[in-house]
Structure 1
Amino acid sequence: YLFMEINELYWKMLEKINGIDEKLNINVTTLSNIVSTSDI
């Protein structure tokens, strides 16, 4: 039962994170490109 409540909270958090993620997606992509470039 407790697991079900935690799971529900987890999905609500994921929805919020996904909403934020859409705005940050470009920044994350740029950052990962910089990181992979500096690896060379």
Structure 2
Amino acid sequence: MLLVSVYQSVTLNILYIGELWATENRSMRWFSFCKMEM
């Protein structure tokens, strides 16, 4: 039972970090695109 909860929390953390990283990537791409336009 303990192993399952540990596994779930690790999976959630990975999903959360992946989401943060994707958002960061998107904003960086948008920023460089705006800089290119100017």
| Length-normalised TM-score, structure 1 | 0.52
Q: Confirm whether residue 13 of structure 1 aligns to residue 18 of structure 2.
A: no
Equivalenced residue count is 26
Structure 1: where are the runs of 5+ without partners?
Answer: 27-40
Larger radius of gyration: 2
Counterpart CA distance in 2 for 1:10 and 1:23 is 20
Mapped partners of 1:13, 1:3: distance in 2: 15
Distance 2:36 2:18 in 1: 25
Query: CA offset at residue 23 of structure 1?
Result: 3.0
Unaligned runs of 5+ in 2: 1-11
How far did residue 24 of structure 1 move?
3.6
